[in-house]
Amino acid sequence: MDLNNTVLTGKKLRGAEKMARIPIKVVPTETTPKKPEWIRTKISQPEEVQIIKDLLRQQKLHTVCEEAACPNLPQCFGSGTATFMIMGDICTRRCPFCDVAHGRPHVLDTNEPKHLAETVKNLNLKYVVITSVDRDDLKDGGAQHFADCIREIREISPNTLIEILVPDFRGRADIALKILSQNPPDVFNHNIETVPRLYKAMRPGSNYQHSLDLLKKFKHYCPDIPTKCGLMVGLGEVEAEVIVLLNDLKDYQVDYVTIGQYLQPSKSHAPIHRFVALQEFKHYQIHGERLAFKNIWSAPLVRSSYFADRQYHGEAVPNPYMSE
């Protein structure tokens, strides 16, 4: 973790402060491009959204839905679903596409797994997604904390399916996977995010091959547990590169895939290179189906945890995303 000594524990760096020390500098955009008509979200059941937010604050929990400014938050919260973000809301990485704050994280809250399990039970969730910030400051990258959350949820909600969306556990993958294999989730998810050519700019501190290896190694430890991987388009890749990436995911035994449009969180973040046309999303969908993934969702507003239960159960990507 490369943090300036003047950064205080718990201080959140966002926007230009967060991007100041990444390898390839982001030039702030003066204007943001207008979204095409097929990228639209609507607010549904605002009272249900507020109930979930109030419950999360009571239990001192965070969601990636809120921290990463996900465009699907109203839909998911309105239907009683959320993706929980454990180990705090400060990340040790500085990915320029991500809106989660960077800085020195607080020590782990040992009560968080219990609070998370209580919230899952109170919301009567049948399927829960748990993700985290990167915690390069921890010897196991936070793997034991994931395992503790899985254990606590299963103790009081044994019928709830659990998907974990993990970081890359850089330098700690073997120990992390050994820990998680002893108390595995129902789905193991790790996002590869973009094509290898763009890694230095978009995922500083990460490695494309390492992410592929992480997914395959987990499958070695737990061959009966499905793996899942997500990526964004519109960052500067070309279609042929995405096709090769999908081939790689199949070669590395990934079961579920999600592809969505990158949306710039602020003018200080990585700019949108282009809005990908619906037809191109369909090309990826068709190619993924030919590769025989268990399920692939490719559409503008798809995110790795968006209606994850529906994808797990084999449903098609929700309309109107694939409409002409």
pLDDT tens digit string along 91-113? 888 888 887 788 888 899 999 99
Which positions make up the binding site?
65, 70, 76, 91, 95, 98, 305
Which range is least confidently modeled, 39-53, 120-134, 258-272?
A: 39-53
Residue-averaged pLDDT of the chain: 86
Helix ranges restricted to H, the chain: 15-19, 46-58, 64-67, 73-78, 112-122, 143-156, 173-182, 199-202, 208-221, 239-251, 278-291, 308-312
At residue 68, the pLDDT reads 46
Question: Between 206 and 124, whose confidence is greater?
Answer: 206
How does pLDDT run across 270-312, given as a tens digit for each residue? Answer: 899 999 999 999 999 999 999 999 999 999 989 888 889 999 9
How does pLDDT run across 5-42, given as a tens digit for each residue? Answer: 456 887 877 667 777 777 777 777 877 778 888 776 55
Rounded alpha-carbon distances, angstroms, from residue 26 to 18, 70, 102, 254: 11, 21, 16, 32
pTM: 0.88
CB-CB contact of 225 with 234 (8 Å)? no
* pLDDT band, very low/low/confident/very high, at 323 (cuts 50, 70, 90): very low
CB-CB contact of 162 with 185 (8 Å)? yes
Separation of alpha carbons 140 and 133, rounded Å: 13
Long-range contacts formed by 209-213: CB under 8 A, 24+ apart: 210/168, 210/170, 210/173, 211/168, 212/248, 212/249, 212/252, 213/173, 213/252
Which positions make up the binding site for [4Fe-4S] cluster?
65, 70, 76, 91, 95, 98, 305
How does pLDDT run across 257-279, given as a tens digit for each residue? Answer: 999 999 988 888 889 999 999 99
Instruction: Of 9, 194, 15, give the one whose Cα is nearest residue 94.
Output: 15
Burial class (CB within 10 angstroms; exposed 0-12, middle 13-18, buried 19+) of 299? buried
How does pLDDT run across 66-76, given as a tens digit for each residue? Answer: 544 555 555 66
CB-CB contact of 218 with 188 (8 Å)? yes
